[in-house]
Amino acid sequence: MLELQGKSLNRLRLLLLFASILLISIIGTMAYAQTTTGSETAGYKAIGAGLAIGLAGIGGGIAVGRTGAAGLSVLSEKPEAFGTVLLIVALGEGIAIYGLIIAILVIIIL
Domains of the chain: residue spans and CATH? 36-109 (1.20.20.10)
Q: What is the pLDDT of residues 43-85, one digit of tens each?
A: 889 999 999 999 999 999 999 999 999 999 999 999 999 999 9
Q: What Å distances lie between residue 13 and 4, 7, 21, CA to CA?
A: 11, 10, 12
- pTM to 2 decimal places: 0.59
What confidence score (pLDDT) does residue 36 get?
Answer: 60
What confidence score (pLDDT) does residue 83 get?
Answer: 95
Is a pLDDT exceeding 90 seen at residue 27? no
Is a pLDDT exceeding 70 seen at residue 3? no
Higher-pLDDT residue of 7, 79: 79
Nearest to 88 by CA among 74, 99, 77: 74
